[in-house]
Amino acid sequence: MRLSVLDQSPISEGSTGAEALRNTIDLAQLADDLGYHRYWVAEHHGGAMLAGPSPEALIGPIASATEHLRVGSGGVMLPHYSPFKVAETFSVLAGLYGDRIDLGIGRAAGTDPLTTRALQRDRSRAMADDFPEQLAELLAYLDGTIPSSHPFARLVELPGLPERPAPWLLGSSPQSAIWAGDLGLPYAFADFINPAGAEIAGLYRRHFAEGEHDGASRTVVAVWALAAETDDEAQRLAASAQMSMAMLRRGRLIKVPPVETALRFLSSEEAPARPQRRTVVGSPETVRTGLETVASDYGAEEVIVVTITHDHSARRRSYELIAEACGLEAPAPVGSSAVA
């Protein structure tokens, strides 16, 4: 089972967005040293809790600060953008960093309706829901397969060629699974959004097989997880994210609160019932068992771990404990004669 990281660049109460972004670079360097496989950064807009609205701006600094990780977007929310612009941007990144760059593509807005409108160039009307067409156009740029009759056919000479980013489709619904399967794309499912995705992952593989693609289907699952020295300590640390999500469901985006503040809130009468979202929280062995169970349920060869804590040191420690429990090995230095 491969392990990877999805970083949402959380902003802690008493901290700033700039510090959260620096923490992202720091965590990526740690993940690189520990032997994690890939490091994806998310796209969220217009809120106080997360400092990552622009994965394309973070990928370059992360790739420069690391040696072994695949680095990419988890993901680029394509409805906000021109497919050609996305293709050019990730071609530049691939040209600079070779085969280390992933282009994870999502359909969700990553924000609320007002911020979605602010992101639009044309605010006179709602944008059309043409994601399948956008996705097909983007892939055609990356593959160099735009028909000669297409009005943009002469634009296929991307700046980073011959290097190309590896496209992934992100999702949490049956429709995304069907698109990924039909297009022959690797598929990343957000279990931390929809924990009932095992059947959807199976749907992806069935559609992939029906498409008779040359390569094999590839499924990864993104899971919210937090490890600490004991089950009790991990549950205590997880309170910060639980309060943040409770406030988000009320339409309030807050910075990630300290543990004691969150524990008081969660024990108060105003605390809502906890939603049915899966979290894998506990000691290293508890988390290892939980991650293996989720991977088995999904038939996934890789788990992407999402973690939010108030203290950056606790988040670092969580990834260290998970790496140790799951037997990750530090990679050989680049240029080493060690056998891969």
pLDDT digits over 181-224, tens only? 999 999 999 999 999 999 999 999 999 988 777 788 999 999 99
Percent of the chain with pLDDT over 70: 93
pLDDT attached to residue 215: 83
Q: Has residue 339 got a pLDDT over 90?
A: no
Q: Has residue 337 got a pLDDT over 50?
A: no
Q: Helix (H, G, I), strand (E, B), or coil: what is residue 141? A: helix
pLDDT in tens, 131-163: 999 999 999 999 999 888 888 888 778 999 999
Kindly tell me the burial class for residue 99, based on how many C-beta atoms sit within 10 Å of its own C-beta (0-12, 13-18, 19 or more). Answer: exposed
Cβ–Cβ < 8 Å for 143, 207: no
User: Letter for the amino acid at 97?
Assistant: Y
* CATH numbers and ranges of domains, the chain: 2-227+279-325 (3.20.20.30)
Whole-angstrom distance, CA of residue 27 vs CA of residue 67? 14
| 252-281 mean pLDDT | 86
Whole-angstrom distance, CA of residue 111 vs CA of residue 80? 11
pLDDT in tens, 222-248: 999 999 999 999 999 999 999 999 998
Whole-angstrom distance, CA of residue 205 vs CA of residue 167? 17
Q: Helix (H, G, I), strand (E, B), or coil: what is residue 282? A: strand
**Which range (45-49, 65-69, 162-166) has the least confidence?**
45-49
